[in-house]
Structure 1
């Protein structure tokens, strides 16, 4: 479902109003409901005023405490899932300026300690050379110079040893020729070099590895609190813990099949040599 910010705000307001109305009909104060849910009264208040968006677990706890009927539980749970999922169209990023999107990503990365990237098709900007970044933005309208600069600035994050990165790349992602062969060889060498950093794990999934679950989309998981999925036309943001957990599970399945360390560097050396 495509949601613009105004629609999403209305859904959050609807959810807050519904939960507040149900509590009042049940004859419970915020304090009594909070005790039943084992949460603070201030959290209940913030949920009912749409100051915070409750997770599905929060909503289920509240509905159970209010003894809501089964059909109502299903309807409200569906609404809660929508409020925890956002769709960000690529055209919106183009209108605002892609460099602003880079600032948003930098803020998100700054608040995260464990970052996981699944890359089935291309190399992400954090790992990319300047030539690769410029080429990957060739389709974007307008001047991309500031976006390239912001992407390169974000790469400093890789050297922050308080953060841990795991990048899983398919062979196609590594070998997809975004730039001419000599530049591709340099790009692949960069992956090998970065794999030596103590806080970075680069895993490779070569073609031919048997995995029954297809690599449908590029996705990133920030700690265990948020997951983003990218498509040609935009990005979906999942904040509900169940959606995040499902992406972590998929990531783990691919991670178990990947080559790391010296085995990965041997593959990278072979693939770089093909471009030379």
Structure 2
């Protein structure tokens, strides 16, 4: 299926109408459908009114209950997949204010307990020093002091023992010289410090090994509910369980090539020293 960015996250009403029509063609009531799918009638009503985006498993249950097959089922599954995918472009985020985006992330972090971060080219804000955070949004015009403060506030979630975090960074992500050498050395030290938290696993994939994989994007997986995939101009928000599972599987493969624990810290310390070592 081809995704059209302008349609992503906007097809809930189309899906709601199609589901409502399918149920009526089958001659069934919302109460009957709710009972067959082990849902509340309120949930079925909210799905058919477009107030609630159903998960793919909800759609599969509804299709089975209505005995919908062939082109009709394919259309409903396609609409559901699109409704469960959202596109957030950088320009819209900047117009709304990047501090608003930080609030959205904080809310997502509050309701999630298991986090997986695959960092391909840069260090994420949860792991960044204030200098790195500032440099990462230096190209955004205007006063970004609120955004910087909010990014740093969000780092407190790392100290919540009810949550677990796994970060996998490529060597490029860790060593990309976004800051002057001394500041980059401090950023390496920050990674070492965070790696010692009991609920954090931080690993790096060095470039001197053999990695028969070809990662294309930075991505984050929140529990089993959602995956975000970053591109050069925005981010895809994926809620389809197949997409989320696929990214969890990708993460597991990359994790196998990463160094963790003391091996990771030794490598980060070596990189930290390289930033301050006099050039020959």
Could you tell me the TM-score, scaled by structure 1's length?
0.95
1: CA distance, partners of 2:90 / 2:171: 26
1:273 aligns with 2:278: no
Q: Secondary structure at the match of 1:24?
A: helix
Q: Secondary structure at the match of 1:123?
A: coil
Other-structure match for 2:181: 181
1:144-163 aligned at under 5 Å gives the runs: 144-163=144-163
**CA shift for structure 1 position 69:** 3.3
Other-structure match for 2:141: 141
Q: Secondary structure at the match of 1:88?
A: strand
Other-structure match for 1:240: 240
2: CA distance, partners of 1:69 / 1:154: 46
Other-structure match for 1:62: 62
1:26-45 aligned at under 5 Å gives the runs: 26-45=26-45
2: CA distance, partners of 1:10 / 1:218: 24
Contact 2:8 2:87 in 1 (8 A): no
Q: Secondary structure at the match of 2:259?
A: coil
**CA shift for structure 1 position 2:** 4.5
**CA shift for structure 1 position 57:** 1.9
Contact 1:2 1:87 in 2 (8 A): no
1: CA distance, partners of 2:187 / 2:10: 45
2: CA distance, partners of 1:154 / 1:65: 43
Moved more, 19-28 or 204-213: 204-213
5+ long unaligned stretches in structure 2: none
2: CA distance, partners of 1:207 / 1:125: 23
1: CA distance, partners of 2:60 / 2:159: 41
Q: Secondary structure at the match of 1:161?
A: coil
1:260 aligns with 2:253: no
Q: Secondary structure at the match of 1:213?
A: coil
Contact 2:9 2:85 in 1 (8 A): no
**CA shift for structure 1 position 211:** 2.6
Cα deviations across residues 51-88 of structure 1 (Å, max 9, x unaligned)? 21112221122122212231111111111100000000
Contact 1:166 1:202 in 2 (8 A): yes
Contact 2:9 2:87 in 1 (8 A): no
Cα deviations across residues 206-239 of structure 1 (Å, max 9, x unaligned)? 1133232212111111111011111111111001
Other-structure match for 1:210: 210
5+ long unaligned stretches in structure 1: none
After the TM superposition, which parts of structure 1 deviate over 4 Å for at least 4 consecutive aligned residues?
A: 7-10
Other-structure match for 2:91: 91
Q: Secondary structure at the match of 1:57?
A: helix
1: CA distance, partners of 2:137 / 2:208: 30
Contact 1:228 1:238 in 2 (8 A): yes
Contact 1:94 1:141 in 2 (8 A): no
**CA shift for structure 1 position 91:** 0.2
